[in-house]
């Protein structure tokens, strides 16, 4: 017999009754029934109930065993009494009478319990992650992650992509976040960087003549943490293709993403790739207040400025006299009560606004009436025009925000989400996808008037050189994101592979030719040697698994995550380097002022 087990803790069933078996695992739960000891023995695969009475030769030893001790037992498989069968587990028809016991690893008093669903502070969970990971939900999350990655790899190979690995230690290359720098011992005073993404390398792979590349790539960015973003590192499905247009990339990645969500989505509806909307960046901001809209929420915002211009509501009327301002309405079907409207007004105040104007429509017996401060100020004719534009009726409401769109769009987007959630308008049993396209390449700083990149500087501008010779704020890129249920899952672009276009694009943003050649020399030089048109994208593995696992925090699907302050509490990182290490690297730490 094997030294530790003849079966796993999920394999035994009624056909094994009478067998002598050996199992190893952790003591999940102990029950003392007056002289009978029952233990749920757990391993990675499942649970088997093992038991002993005073006739067992190891009964006295078994009484010393505590939760999460790692043990090996030998025993006889017995059928459970029919009234004691546990139909919830595969081994529920049997139990094992223990005849021999070996303690493989005793456990001290536990800082957190593995059995049960008790909540623990995140600090405790991350400091003792090896215990936290023993919990059932965490085991399921990590298995799901592994299975998702395996499925993605198979699907990419089936589409004739080949997997290539790109360097982890490389040169600094700005990708929109801070680099993690690595000092060089052999070249004092110089630094490598951990790649924020394999962006330049995958483009160079295309220049090298490989037609389709993919990689499950680790990426490193020194970012501020969010619930859906790790502050240090993450993994993405990275892919690139030659001789493609934007739609070719969509047609390639969409079935992969949809297939993974169908396979692991637990029966929830997955929109077919052919049904995925393509929404311009500007329309997404207008309709949803976000470039990653949750389309399970049917609410679509609209511009209603004309109904407030010159109206009796002075705040909006005067606002509209300023250049670049507008008023937007957030329809709220079924939200037509003063109580709900007051609650949303309070939400706006919590977001830092003075409030949020509203109108709601109610039945007064003799017909519909518009109620609320705005209705009184602008009068029935304008109120009725708003109602008709928004397609609302009795029992509905609308909320209003005004100003320069970039200033209020984020709050409007969050308000839309809250309204949809509170009114029960969101289809929770669905994964809703949409491509966000036509991103502007440039933006203007309102204070300095300086033109800079708003989005990916490596995107091919729509219209080529002709577009770059016009108004920079009108230039759109062949850049795209894929949104799902309010999260950005995929980001990509058709690349600017022409040296003259590349120099012109950077020149508009104030970067001279020498700076471009210095910062992106390898890519720029390679484009002079027959670069093919190419494009691709990257899909966030962590976010995909987070959505599939129904988790609100990305740390729940990462094996060993950092905390909110980018600290590894378990490994005590970051840590102080030894003096010898600093000397070897020719570095000195400058003390921070307290």
515 is in an annotated binding site: no
Q: For helices 541-548 and 246-264, give the axis angle rounded to 10 degrees.
A: 40
395 is in an annotated binding site: no
CA Rg, the chain, in Å?
30
- Check: CB of residue 173 under 8 Å from CB of residue 193: yes
Beta bridge partners of 21: 75
338 is in an annotated binding site: no
455 is in an annotated binding site: yes
Distance CA 475, CA 458 (A): 13
Answer positive or negative: Cα dihedral of 506, 512, 517, 518: negative
DSSP 568: B
542 is in an annotated binding site: yes
221 is in an annotated binding site: yes
As given in the structure block, the two tokens for residue 361 are 């429509």
In 194-337, which ranges are continuous DSSP H helix? 199-207, 246-264, 281-288, 305-308, 314-319
Residues 6+ apart with CB under 8 A from 452: 442, 443, 445, 509, 510
222 is in an annotated binding site: yes
495 is in an annotated binding site: yes
Distance CA 561, CA 129 (A): 9
- Check: CB of residue 111 under 8 Å from CB of residue 124: yes
Please provide the size of the chain in residues: 594
Could you give the angle at the alpha carbon of 451 between the alpha carbons of 226 and 180, nearest 5°? 40
What are the CB-based long-range contacts (under 8 Å, 24+) for 386-389? 386/304, 386/307, 386/329, 386/359, 387/359, 387/361, 389/302, 389/304, 389/307, 389/329
Binding residues for L-aspartate: 175, 221, 455, 495
Binding residues for ATP: 221-223, 488, 540-543
Binding residues: 175, 221-223, 455, 488, 495, 540-543
């Amino acid at each position: 017999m094997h030294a530790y087990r003849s079966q796993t803790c999920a394999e035994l069933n009624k056909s094994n009754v009478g067998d002598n078996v050996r199992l190893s695992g952790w003591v999940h739960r102990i029950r003392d029934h007056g002289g009978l000891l029952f233990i749920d023995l757990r391993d990675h695969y499942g649970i088997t109930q093992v038991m002993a009475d005073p006739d067992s030769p190891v009964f006295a030893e078994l009484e010393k065993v505590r939760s999460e001790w790692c043990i090996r037992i030998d025993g006889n498989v017995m059928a459970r009494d029919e009234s004691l069968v546990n139909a919830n587990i595969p081994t529920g028809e049997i139990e094992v009478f223990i005849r021999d016991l070996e303690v493989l690893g005793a456990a001290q008093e536990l800082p957190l319990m593995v059995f049960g669903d008790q909540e623990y502070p995140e600090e405790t969970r991350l400091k003792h992650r090896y215990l936290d990971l023993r919990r059932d939900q965490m085991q399921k999350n990590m298995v799901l992650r592994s299975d998702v990655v395996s499925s993605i790899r198979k699907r990419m190979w089936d589409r004739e992509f080949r997997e290539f690995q790109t360097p982890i230690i490389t040169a600094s290359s700005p990708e929109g976040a801070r680099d993690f720098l690595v000092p060089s011992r052999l070249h004092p005073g110089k630094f490598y960087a951990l790649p924020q993404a394999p962006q330049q390398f995958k483009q160079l792979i295309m220049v090298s003549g490989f037609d389709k590349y993919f990689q499950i790539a680790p990426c490193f960015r020194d970012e501020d943490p969010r619930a859906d973003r790790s502050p240090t590192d993450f993994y993405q499905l990275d892919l690139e293709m030659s001789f493609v247009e934007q739609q070719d990339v969509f047609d390639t990645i969409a079935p992969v993403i949809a297939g993974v969500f169908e396979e692991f989505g637990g029966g929830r509806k997955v929109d077919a790739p052919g049904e995925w909307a393509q929404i311009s960046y500007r329309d997404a901001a207008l309709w949803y207040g976000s470039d990653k809209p949750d389309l399970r929420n049917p609410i679509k915002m609209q511009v209603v400025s004309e109904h407030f211009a010159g109206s009796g509501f002075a705040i909006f009327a005067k606002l509209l006299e300023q250049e670049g301002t507008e008023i937007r309405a957030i329809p709220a079907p079924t939200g037509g009560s003063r109580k709900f409207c007051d609650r949303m007004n309070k939400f706006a105040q919590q977001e830092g606004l003075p409030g949020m104007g509203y109108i709601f429509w109610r039945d007064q017996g003799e017909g519909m009436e518009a109620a609320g401060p705005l209705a009184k100020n602008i009068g029935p004719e304008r109120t009725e025009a708003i109602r008709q534009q928004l397609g609302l009726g009795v029992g509905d409401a609308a909320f209003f925000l005004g100003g320069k769109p970039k200033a209020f769009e984020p709050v409007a987007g969050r308000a839309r989400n809250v309204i949809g959630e509170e009114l029960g308008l969101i289809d929770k049993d669905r994964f809703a996808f949409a491509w966000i396209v036509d991103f502007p390449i440039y933006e203007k700083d309102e204070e300095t008037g300086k033109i800079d990149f708003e989005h990916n500087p490596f995107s091919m501008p729509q219209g080529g050189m002709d577009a770059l010779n016009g108004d920079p704020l009108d230039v759109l890129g062949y850049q795209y994101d894929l949104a799902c249920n309010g999260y950005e899952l995929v980001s990509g672009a058709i690349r600017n592979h022409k040296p003259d276009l590349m120099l012109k694009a950077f020149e508009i943003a104030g970067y001279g030719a020498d700076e471009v050649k210095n910062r992106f020399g390898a890519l720029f030089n390679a484009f002079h040697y027959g670069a093919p048109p190419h494009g691709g994208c990257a899909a966030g593995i962590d976010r995909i698994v987070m959505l599939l696992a129904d988790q609100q925090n990305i740390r729940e699907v990462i094996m060993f995550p950092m905390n909110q302050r980018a600290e590894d509490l378990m490994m005590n990182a970051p840590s102080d380097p030894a003096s010898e290490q600093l000397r070897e690297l020719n570095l000195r730490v400058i003390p921070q002022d307290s």
